[in-house]
Chain A
Amino acid sequence: SISTKMVLAFLCHTVVATPCRVLYSSVFGDDLQQALIEGAQYDSLRSIRKDQLMQVACRVQAEFGFRLACRDSDGSESVLDLADKGFLRLSPGDPFLTSKAVIWQVTDSCAYVMICELDENRLQAESILALLVRLIQVHVVAGEQRTLEILLKGDKMAAILHQFLPCGHILFLNSKAVAQYEKQLEKLIVGK
């Protein structure tokens, strides 16, 4: 009965390059219970966390690869630019103590992933993920280096999450509230 949080982590990673690279990650949750139970040293917890996130990223990459292969075979245009999204279930102990839901969206060859508790409202989580992706596109990926900017402009990523996924909390924001928060976000990003 050890418990964790609702949105455990948010991450962005590459989907077409090998090896898979995590460009940005933010962990809100108590993701290390499994490691603690297994008696991991405190010093190694960070590296375990990184491995866990990489494990999830690789699964998303595989999922997307499958999706892409199917699309290729179907003869539909191989469209990396279109938003593609999906869900995954992580089994208990693999890599987190309890089962988790993974919600992902691929835009511009970058995967945006939320790892949530199973009882999270996935409809809203999906909307928030789409919103985060849109904001990242506007504020972060706009530069010449595109997805690489996610790695280089950690402050902007942090600002977006701070405003729209505070402490991993999935909010039910209507369009007016989103507009209001976007103004605050702009202040945060350009704020002197």
Chain B
Amino acid sequence: MATKGDLYQQARSVDGKDFDDWVQLVQNTLQLNDRGQQCLTLLRQLCVFVSVTKYSRNLAPTLYALLQNVVLEPEQGPPRIRLMASCILRELCPSDNIAVKDFNPPVEESNIPYMLPVLLAQTNGRGRISQLALEIFRWLTETGYEEELCLVALSSLYAICSHKRALEKFSEDHFRALNLQMMGWLKQANCSSAQMPSSSIFSAGGKKQMFPVKEIDGSVSQNLFTLLSIGGYYSSDQLLNIHVFSFLRRWTLVTHMMRVGVAPSPAPDYKDMERSVSCQSRDGFRSTSVTSAFNVAGSLRLQSSLSNPLSSIPNPLPATPLGGTTQQTPMASLVGRARQQLREAVVQYCLRVLDQCERKPPKTAEDDLALACLYESIAILDVQCTVHRGLLSAVFPTCKKMYTRWAQDSAVIPNLLLVMVKFLVRHSDSEVFDMQAPLENIFGRVLGSQFANFSFAFDTVDYLLENQEALCRHSTAIFTRFFPNFLKILAWAPVTYVTEFLQLLPSFISTSTALEVLHSLLDLPCLAAILQIQQLCQDGSTKPVYACCMAAFQDTSNKLLFRHYLRLESGRGDTIDRLGLLHQLLGDLSQHPRVNGAAEITPLLLRVYFQTVLYGRDAGVISQVVGAVLERSTLLFAIPAFQEGIKRVFAEQLLEFFKTYPNLVVDFHRDVQEHLSNLRTLATGGEPLYLHLAWAVGTYTHICYNPQCTSNITMEFFETLELAAYEVAMGHRQKPAYTTRLVLTLMSALAKLASRSQDLIPRTLLCLNKLVQLTTAENPSVGAGASSCKVLLGHASELVNVLKMPTIAIQVLSPTPSKEKGWDEQQARTTRILQSVVHLVQTNKEHQTPSTPSGGPPP
């Protein structure tokens, strides 16, 4: 048996003359009338040859024409041959060689369905899409076409109708006819059906006996036929009824958008729609006609069971015709009337489906379908009500009641609850409905237990993204309140949703939640681990490697600790007390793919977080964040790559913070000092952070950046850095070595502090000399060590020379920040001063053009 790889490679490698000869054989076979097994085998092989490569096979135009004939023309063999030919043509799309000018004979009407997918795959860039739409219109509205063609035509229209050019040739009359046709399919499908024809040879011939269709519960249907009406063998009108249901939402949107002059888009832009609706109302909406329409097919059971007063529909909106003129032409009136009739039929149908689903027995063959139908019906009603607000008073109470019942029923799937919440929230303004409770329920309690439900997680993320702006505007504070819950989705499926959460994250951050969001992000791997243990406990896993974690999770003394991470709402902002302990407890899960996945994406999220905080320019928030960063840099879950990644982001971002808010260095002098005095912070990727902190201390410990900067603080910083510098210099030659860059930065920082507090100059000179001695003790004459010695010597001597002239030192090492002068100008000024210094002291020739005199990491 060939493996897939083999077959792929084999098929790809067939080329050149061999392939051309083989194609000739296919062509010859197609030109014969034989449409048997050999033809099918050849076509199957052709399909493989074509589909395994993205490159063109340079097939002759004749072959395209032959395949097209096989698909469309009469007496070209059984459907499977046509399907195969259609499949190959579709695979070759888009191509200039495929063109259907018209569907006139010899094209056989019954074969058009095989060709439509090919036309759709031809792309609409060049296609004659509006022409195709007109053809489809003809097949749908004129009588005498085959059922199969009507059904596929409807599906094709569904596929193309949202294209901006598809319906450009449609006149009002086209829309009217189609709307009436659809209304007919919705309302007039036969309520009886024949038995499914038996495949047995003993089946009774003669006239088919008709039986009334049944409800899902088995009772005889007394009402309008819907897709949930159970029959035996469905007739074409019934199949059209079933097919048209999934067409309604799209059609409503597309026709509405065309009427208001907005090119249709795939995702309904409700904002635009509402705006357009509020400034125009095109159709008359007469309560009497709606009421009568609802009564046509017998009184709705829903109506009575939910005591929904449909007759209380408010006064019709003033009717204005298409085109925005106030005078209504007879045609516009007819068009409007057709639209209104369709709308009434749609609402009636959807309410009937809701009713059928509500009355469904607990377990039937149609369970999944009923859920999907409920979902679809609510979504259709939502679109209908958005387009025509007059419907709200009829629909809203029904939906509200359903929601109230569902909210207390744990058996209702969360996706359904969400689509209902969407409906209620969208129309809450019009109906004076408090949307707080449904939102709290769905994003609190429900999401808290359903974050691992892939389908619901997707729907939730989708809803949040599509409504991000609107939800941020609402006073419900969904994002800032429920982000701990939202983050569970991400922690559970980090690979799936990282892009989405990068987009959502800024909405989680407010002045009150900034700190909590930071901690939550840093703890994302912990959250993933906890959710994983929770799952393992629920599954009763017996894997020994997780036994300790599971025991810890179930231990009542740790309950509060874990509950904090599993919280539904925000509100606990600070570093939790026993974070170290938690990291220990979760240690066994540090290799779990879910935990690693969460750890990998955290640095990305952190970058977006810091950008958002910086953009907010709230000094209070930034101050809190800086404190937390310093605190958390040593309190991270024990995954080395994670720790390195986070510390790298911390280093970059702290530098940004300090550049923007230099006063923070002195404000946080205790934390900064603590960090700098502890050389263990240099472990696992901590050097960049340490280095940037040292640079910031050297540069910003200055009274002109913070009036609170006392000589004591400067002194304390100096002593800390001095001690650190000695330790680092001693460790410079050890393995793993501290980098030369770190020693240079510490030297510069010390010199800068000394330049401001001149009592420290002698001590600094001594220190610099000692540092040079220590770091260049072995003084290798070749290799990287030699060049680092050279750099250290050079830098130290620059600093020593500058410090020997205190008045110049303060100019060079501690330039006063100038608001008027830009960074470049300041640098130029410093360089000028330094050049004169160099000239003055006449240091050795190789240091005549010193680089980065102020030292440290170039920002």
Interface residues of A, Cβ cutoff 8 Å to B: 1-6, 14, 17, 21-33, 36, 42-43, 45-47, 49-51, 62-63, 66, 69-70, 73-76, 85-89, 91, 98-99, 101, 117-119, 121-124, 126-127, 144-145, 147-148, 151-159, 161-162, 166-177, 179-180, 183, 187-192
Chain A residue at minimum C-beta to C-beta distance from B123: A32
Closest 8 pairs (CB-CB, A-B):
A75-B543, A169-B155, A50-B54, A124-B372, A87-B458, A1-B263, A155-B84, A69-B593
Known: A28-B120, A167-B159. A127 touches B164 (CB 8 A): no
B151 with A166: CB separation less than 8 A = yes
Chain A residue at minimum C-beta to C-beta distance from B379: A121
CA distance A187 to B87 in the complex (A): 18
CA distance A95 to B139 in the complex (A): 35
Residues of the B chain whose Cβ atoms lie less than 8 Å from the Cβ of A118: 266-267, 462, 466
Q: What would 27 A/B residue contacts be, using CB atoms closer than 8 Å?
A: A3-B162, A5-B158, A5-B159, A26-B87, A32-B123, A33-B125, A42-B94, A42-B96, A42-B126, A46-B56, A62-B495, A73-B593, A86-B454, A87-B457, A87-B458, A89-B499, A91-B500, A98-B267, A122-B459, A123-B455, A148-B2, A154-B47, A155-B81, A159-B80, A172-B246, A174-B242, A176-B231
Decide if B51 is an interface residue (CB 8 Å cutoff): yes
A36 with B164: CB separation less than 8 A = no
A159 with B369: CB separation less than 8 A = no
Residues of the A chain whose Cβ atoms lie less than 8 Å from the Cβ of B302: none
Known: A6-B158, A177-B234. A27 touches B90 (CB 8 A): yes
Chain A residue at minimum C-beta to C-beta distance from B370: A174
CB-contacts of B104-137 with A (<8 A): 113-114, 116-117, 120-121, 123-126
A179 with B196: CB separation less than 8 A = yes
Residues of the A chain whose Cβ atoms lie less than 8 Å from the Cβ of B709: none
Known: A123-B455, A159-B83, A174-B230. A101 touches B5 (CB 8 A): no
Chain A residue at minimum C-beta to C-beta distance from B597: A66
A172 with B227: CB separation less than 8 A = yes
Residues of the A chain whose Cβ atoms lie less than 8 Å from the Cβ of B156: 167
Decide if B539 is an interface residue (CB 8 Å cutoff): yes
A4 with B162: CB separation less than 8 A = yes
Chain B residue at minimum C-beta to C-beta distance from A75: B543
CA distance A153 to B234 in the complex (A): 30
CA distance A152 to B51 in the complex (A): 10
Write out, one digit per residue, whether chain B residues 459-484 have a CB within 8 A of any chain A CB (1) or not (0).
10110011000000000000000000
B87 with A155: CB separation less than 8 A = yes
Decide if B7 is an interface residue (CB 8 Å cutoff): yes
Write out, one digit per residue, whether chain B residues 533-576 have a CB within 8 A of any chain A CB (1) or not (0).
00110010111011000000000000000000000000000000
Chain A residue at minimum C-beta to C-beta distance from B228: A174
A21 with B8: CB separation less than 8 A = yes
CA distance A23 to B558 in the complex (A): 51
Residues of the A chain whose Cβ atoms lie less than 8 Å from the Cβ of B47: 154-155
A191 with B243: CB separation less than 8 A = no
B80 with A170: CB separation less than 8 A = no
A24 with B593: CB separation less than 8 A = no
Residues of the B chain whose Cβ atoms lie less than 8 Å from the Cβ of A32: 94, 123, 125
Residues of the B chain whose Cβ atoms lie less than 8 Å from the Cβ of A153: 44
B373 with A172: CB separation less than 8 A = yes
A189 with B375: CB separation less than 8 A = no
CA distance A156 to B87 in the complex (A): 10
B117 with A28: CB separation less than 8 A = yes
Select B268's contact among A73, A99, A119, beta carbons within 8 Å: A119
Decide if B366 is an interface residue (CB 8 Å cutoff): yes
CA distance A148 to B265 in the complex (A): 38
A157 with B94: CB separation less than 8 A = no
CA distance A183 to B154 in the complex (A): 21
Decide if B415 is an interface residue (CB 8 Å cutoff): yes
Residues of the A chain whose Cβ atoms lie less than 8 Å from the Cβ of B158: 5-6, 167, 169
Residues of the A chain whose Cβ atoms lie less than 8 Å from the Cβ of B375: 121, 123-124
CB-contacts of B60-119 with A (<8 A): 78-81, 83-84, 86-88, 90-96, 113-114, 116-117
Chain B residue at minimum C-beta to C-beta distance from A146: B1
Decide if B592 is an interface residue (CB 8 Å cutoff): yes
Select B113's contact among A14, A30, A85, A166, beta carbons within 8 Å: A166
Chain B residue at minimum C-beta to C-beta distance from A18: B5
Decide if B608 is an interface residue (CB 8 Å cutoff): no
CA distance A76 to B8 in the complex (A): 33
Select A127's contact among B81, B372, B415, beta carbons within 8 Å: B372
CB-contacts of B254-270 with A (<8 A): 262-268
Q: Separation in Å of the A34 CB from the closest CB of chain B?
A: 11
Interface range on chain B: under 10, 10 to 19, 20 to 34, or 35 or more? 35 or more
Chain A-chain B contacts (Cβ-Cβ < 8 Å), number = 291
Name the prevailing secondary structure of the B interface residues: helix
Residues of the B chain whose Cβ atoms lie less than 8 Å from the Cβ of A24: 51
CA distance A150 to B591 in the complex (A): 37
A43 with B56: CB separation less than 8 A = yes
Among A14, A31, A47, A172, residue most surrounded by chain B Cβ atoms (within 10 Å): A172
Decide if B839 is an interface residue (CB 8 Å cutoff): no
Residues of the A chain whose Cβ atoms lie less than 8 Å from the Cβ of B247: 169
Residues of the B chain whose Cβ atoms lie less than 8 Å from the Cβ of A189: 80
CA distance A153 to B87 in the complex (A): 11
A152 with B44: CB separation less than 8 A = yes
Known: A1-B164, A151-B7, A172-B246. A45 touches B591 (CB 8 A): no
Chain A residue at minimum C-beta to C-beta distance from B592: A73
Residues of the B chain whose Cβ atoms lie less than 8 Å from the Cβ of A66: 495, 593, 597
Chain A residue at minimum C-beta to C-beta distance from B499: A91
Q: Separation in Å of the B459 CB from the closest CB of chain A?
A: 7
Residues of the B chain whose Cβ atoms lie less than 8 Å from the Cβ of A175: 230, 365-366, 369
Residues of the A chain whose Cβ atoms lie less than 8 Å from the Cβ of B124: 30
Decide if B808 is an interface residue (CB 8 Å cutoff): no
A188 with B83: CB separation less than 8 A = yes
CA distance A66 to B162 in the complex (A): 36
Select B266's contact among A3, A63, A151, A169, beta carbons within 8 Å: A3
CB-contacts of B220-243 with A (<8 A): 227-228, 230-234, 239, 242-243
Residues of the A chain whose Cβ atoms lie less than 8 Å from the Cβ of B202: none
Given A73-B594, A162-B117, 13 more pairs with CB closer than 8 A? A3-B266, A5-B266, A89-B496, A89-B497, A118-B267, A122-B415, A124-B369, A151-B51, A156-B80, A158-B87, A172-B242, A177-B227, A180-B196
Q: Separation in Å of the B317 CB from the closest CB of chain A?
A: 26
Residues of the B chain whose Cβ atoms lie less than 8 Å from the Cβ of A98: 265-267
CB-contacts of B401-449 with A (<8 A): 415
Chain A residue at minimum C-beta to C-beta distance from B459: A122
Q: Separation in Å of the B557 CB from the closest CB of chain A?
A: 26
CA distance A168 to B152 in the complex (A): 10
CA distance A101 to B455 in the complex (A): 11
CA distance A126 to B459 in the complex (A): 13
Residues of the A chain whose Cβ atoms lie less than 8 Å from the Cβ of B813: none
Chain A residue at minimum C-beta to C-beta distance from B253: A119
Select B48's contact among A1, A49, A152, A169, beta carbons within 8 Å: A152
Decide if B579 is an interface residue (CB 8 Å cutoff): no
Chain A residue at minimum C-beta to C-beta distance from B216: A174
Select B87's contact among A45, A76, A154, A180, beta carbons within 8 Å: A154
B51 with A180: CB separation less than 8 A = no
Chain A residue at minimum C-beta to C-beta distance from B114: A162
